[in-house]
Amino acid sequence: MQKMTKKTSALTFDPTCKPKGMKRLVLAWQNSLKALLWVVRNEAAFRQELVVLFASLIVLSVWRIPLLEKALLLSSVLFVLFAEIINTALEVTIDRIGREVHPLSGLAKDLGSAGVLLAMVVASVLWLTIIVSTTGSEEFQEYNLLKETSDRDK
């Protein structure tokens, strides 16, 4: 984890003075963009997953599959990025609480990492399922015909 360059202030959060309306939306966008830039600069795993996202966008732009399947595949890659951001937020929070080694801190970080792994498994299953179903459609049709025939013979 990279250290933050700005010093923390002694100010406390006052939930009664939250911005409202359009100002809240603008500030939310600014904070989100600031966070995305931070994670790109400081997290190698996120940068690797961005490469996968860009590669996926290229593949999906030329691959002739239904729009719904493209959306599903793109969403699966974006879900991995989402999981990585949540994992990073968890790690940063644990580091903010304390740098000392503690079994619960390690467990929290490991659980966040497991969440990223599960997101990657989901994305992989979706990609492999659609790849196999589109490239091997004749084989699937033959298999289904054979299965239907054997089911009828029973």
**Does 139 map to a domain?**
yes
CATH number of the domain residue 97 falls in:
1.10.287.3610
The confidence score (pLDDT) of residue 99 equals 82
84 annotated active-site = yes
pLDDT category, 98, cuts 50, 70, 90?
confident
Asked if residue 49 belongs to a known ligand binding site, the reply is yes
Taking only the tens place, the pLDDT of each residue in 30-81 is 999 999 999 999 999 999 999 999 999 999 999 999 999 999 999 999 999 9
Taking only the tens place, the pLDDT of each residue in 5-20 is 556 666 777 778 888 8
**Does 58 map to a domain?**
yes
Decide which of 90 and 99 is more confident: 90
Asked if residue 32 belongs to a known ligand binding site, the reply is no
* Mean of all residue pLDDT scores within the chain: 88
Place of tokens 């992989």: 124
Asked if residue 43 belongs to a known ligand binding site, the reply is yes
**Does 96 map to a domain?**
yes
Asked if residue 101 belongs to a known ligand binding site, the reply is yes
Closest by CA position to 80, among listed 50, 39, 110, 37: 50
* Interaxial angle between packed helices 67-97 and 103-135, expressed in degrees from 0 to 180 and rounded to the nearest 10: 170
**Does 10 map to a domain?**
no
**Does 34 map to a domain?**
no
Asked if residue 100 belongs to a known ligand binding site, the reply is yes
Domain that holds residue 60: 44-148
* SS3 annotation, 43-92: CHHHHHHHHHHHHHHHHHHHCCCCHHHHHHHHHHHHHHHHHHHHHHHHHH
How far is residue 74's CA from residue 62's CA, in Å, rounded to a whole number? 13
**Does 154 map to a domain?**
no
The confidence score (pLDDT) of residue 33 equals 96
pLDDT at residue 117 above 90?
yes
Number of domains in the chain: 1
Q: Pick the catalytic residue from 69, 84, 139, 148.
A: 84
How far is residue 105's CA from residue 135's CA, in Å, rounded to a whole number? 45
pLDDT at residue 85 above 90?
yes
Question: What b/e sequence results for 19-36 when a residue is b if at least 16 CB atoms lie within 10 Å of its CB, and e otherwise?
Answer: eeeeeeeeeeeeeeeeee
